[in-house]
A and B are shown apart, each in its own frame.
Chain A
Amino acid sequence: MSDRSQLIETGKPFKFDAERDAEFERLVKRYPTRESMILPALWLTQEQEGWVSAEAIAYIADRIGTYAAKVFEAATFYTMYHLKPMGQYHICVCRTLSCWLREKQNIIDFLAEEIGVRPGEISDDGRFSLEEVECLGHCGTAPVVQVNGEFHEEMNVEKMKTLLAGLE
């Protein structure tokens, strides 16, 4: 894991929109402690903004009534929280055992060639970001790719080409 502690400040205050606000209030009743809302609140933030800024972490901490350092810990510990803006299409390619055995590297190499991004990078036009992720639990249909959270199974270069072509 690389260092995730360098948070980005937007310079603007953050708050939940009306929909997330309501969802937060609905969820908080499901737990006996407010701190249980740290992960759900980070998810709500990511849903709303696409990523989690320093301001959002501070907002969540204050909203829950806990230490900012605790939310900071969670945000950096759990790697699915994006701590910087991602591409319009965030592509996750599973790099672990079964996908590795079934040649996920071909897909990574193809993407580097085709859209010019390597794992951890965002394309210059901001359309694509690529991440190699650990096991996505689709080993029986490896290799697997996720684009903005949607699974694409039994992938290969041909299917990746078609998938990219189908994106706006």
Chain B
Amino acid sequence: MEVKILSAKFDIENSHKLEVAKEHGAYATLEKLFAMEPADVIEEVKKSGLRGRGGAGFPAGVKWSFLPKDTGKPVYLAVNSDESEPATFKDRYILVRDPHMLIEGIIICCYAIGCHDTYIYIRGEYTSQVRILQQAIDEAYEAGYLGDTVAGRDFKLEVTVHRGAGAYVCGEETALLESIEGKKGQPRSKPPFPAVVGLYDCPTIINNVQSIASLPFIIDQGAEAYTAYGTEKSAGTHLFGISGHVEKPGMYELPLGLPVLDVLDKVAGGVWKGRKLKGVIPGGSSTPVLTAEEAKTATLDYESMAEHGTMFGSGGIVVLDDTVDIVALVKNLIDFYHHESCGQCTPCREGLGWMLKITKKILAGGGSSEDIDLLLELCDNIEMKTVCVLSAACTMPVRSYLNKFRHEFEAYVEKGASLQAAGIQG
């Protein structure tokens, strides 16, 4: 099932070094790139159907075409390498194992959109990763792939790494811009959209690492070679991160559209310890959970996930075995989103803390049936009332657990203990 497009160089020793990467084709597309018109590059990317791989899945080429023309202001590219959504760890592989693919992608994108200053926003926790990335950038500068004359062409490009410092919300594109500007990572109200008013009030494109890293393949092989993978509406491949209760967790590059259970069994070695499947989180912790039953018919693409009432998200698949205490899991999730709430909007700031305390109360055996209803109502009251979707990233999955596993919450209310501990059959 696995394919090797983005991950082609991942298993090569020292692939992060320019010399090795070049031997395996890095920067080979630049010749072709500079022979193309920028507009044609955008067109090719549009044709490839490449969708933003950060989680929202917005078509990358379309996003680029939102840039206003001739504003007299510089255009910025911000590469989102904040990768903080729980269960998401794909971009890290690119940063560490093929950073030159990312740099090459940056050159392609910047050439297409007329940008000469790129900031790579990398989460602060990625310590060794930032070192490797910076080394690769330094090498690229030295070799003339970055700087005043990219690959000897009359094209200037500066790439600066900006480190975050422990804030999930900075993965939200406007919070990321705020953070580069030296502020707290608090998302901006939209409109205006960053393509119009972005970094330093200038037109800005923000793309995820994987989206940018997909560009060399698309330009080199052409859009059709890319769309040969995946489904009609969900083209290409994706770096899926599979974690949780499987025998072989890890990062796997797969075409879009494969059946979820096939992937779990054939790629990730099945549910660990011979246990039964309870549920699957399909695309990072913010996506609503699929029950084992629902997972049977789901495939790993944007459309199937939407049909199943959830989202493709970041492709971070989490497998839950039948021993998982859903109430404890929900507490773990709310704890995360509450901890990461930027504190700006009232409902998210106050509401997530309230939800956390109610969940703790239920876990401690002090909850009531009304508390479960209140949690459900609070999901509605908070969701989509805020500047960004961080709170929705909490309420959407939490609602799914409350609805699909309500009996586990009821067990705590009635028996003061988990379903498993209380010996009730689920």
Contacts and interface: CB of A to CB of B under 8 A. Distances in A.
On whether A and B touch (CB less than 8 Å), the answer reads yes
Interface of A: 1, 30-33, 35-40, 42-43, 64, 66, 70, 73-74, 77-81, 95-98, 100-102, 133-142, 146, 149-151
A39 B163 contact: yes
Given A74-B182, A134-B340, 17 more contacts: A33-B181, A35-B182, A36-B162, A36-B181, A42-B165, A43-B165, A66-B182, A70-B183, A78-B124, A80-B125, A97-B318, A97-B329, A97-B333, A98-B318, A134-B86, A140-B89, A140-B241
A101 B184 contact: no
Interface string B270-301: 00000000000100010000000000000000
Interface of A: prevailing SS? mixed
B165 A139 contact: no
B244 A102 contact: yes
A137 B182 contact: no
11 contacts: A70-B182, A79-B165, A79-B167, A96-B336, A97-B86, A97-B281, A98-B244, A135-B84, A135-B168, A139-B87, A140-B241
A139 B182 contact: no
Contacts of A146: 125, 127
Contacts of A42: 165
Contact of B336 (A134, A140, A141): A134
**Top-6 shortest CB links A-B:** A80-B166, A78-B165, A38-B182, A139-B243, A35-B182, A149-B127
A133 B324 contact: no
Contacts of B127: 146, 149-151
A40 B320 CA distance: 39
A142 B180 CA distance: 30
B355 to A, nearest CB: 15
A140 B200 contact: no
Interface residues of B, number: 53
Interface stretch (B21-29, B149-157, B227-235, B245-253): B245-253
Interface of B: 83-89, 92, 123-128, 158, 160, 162-168, 179-185, 200, 241-245, 249-251, 281, 285, 316, 318, 320, 324, 329, 332-333, 335-336, 339-340, 342
Contacts of A80: 124-125, 164-166
A79 B166 contact: yes
Given A43-B165, A79-B167, A139 B125 contact: no
Nearest to B272: A102
Given A36-B180, A146-B125, A101 B241 contact: no
Nearest to B168: A134
A139 B158 contact: no
A1 B375 CA distance: 21
Nearest to A35: B182
A139 B249 contact: yes
A137 B314 CA distance: 12
B86 A96 contact: yes
Nearest to A71: B182
Interface centre among B92, B165, B179, B245 (most CB of A within 10 A): B165
Interface centre among A35, A39, A95, A139 (most CB of B within 10 A): A139
Nearest to A135: B86
B318 to A, nearest CB: 6
A43 B163 contact: yes
